[in-house]
Amino acid sequence: MSDVDQVASISAARHSRSECVTASTDSVDFLHPIRTTDSVCFISYVAWTGTSSMEVFVKIIAEDLKSSVRKIAATALLTFVALDEDKRPTRVPKVIPETEEEKKLHETALDRARMREQRKQKSKDVATFLNVDYP
């Protein structure tokens, strides 16, 4: 999980050319096991942007070192916010998708952004009755 966040944060920083913070880990889906005999490759890119936020897609590819069979082991979506020098949200460039994969993720991003907003509101609602006392 730490590797996913680190790889995604590099993509966010490269896209925005600014400091970025993780706003949320929206999803991590484990699709196939990664075995000790596999090599692992993380590929990430910004799939969509809002005003200061970026949705970053990460795919994790496992390759069996003996057979050379490659599988998508996991996918993840994270949201980052770009910050200016004063640590305030700052505008980010829009995404120009090029590959079919990028185009598909970009086309479906608005629905995911709406779901993230709903989930965030539900989390805020839950937080209103949580306490901060030690157990």
Residue ranges of the domains in the chain?
2-127
| Cα separation values, 17 from 12, 85, 91, 117, Å | 8, 12, 11, 25
134 pLDDT above the threshold of 90: no
What local confidence, expressed as pLDDT, does residue 87 receive?
97
CATH superfamily placement of domain 2-127: Hotdog Thioesterase (3.10.129.10)
Whole-model pTM above 0.85?
A: yes
33, burial (CB in 10 Å: exposed 0-12, middle 13-18, buried 19+): exposed
135 pLDDT above the threshold of 90: no
> Which residue is associated with the tokens 């944060």?
9
- Name the 3-class secondary structure at 29: strand
Q: How far apart are alpha carbons 23 and 112 in whole angstroms?
A: 14
Which helix (H) or strand (E) is 56 found in, with range? Answer: strand 53-64
pLDDT tens for each residue of 54-99: 999 999 999 999 999 999 999 999 999 999 999 999 999 999 999 9
CA angle, 118 then 120 then 122, to 5°: 70
| Cα separation values, 35 from 24, 41, 64, 80, 125, Å | 28, 13, 8, 30, 40
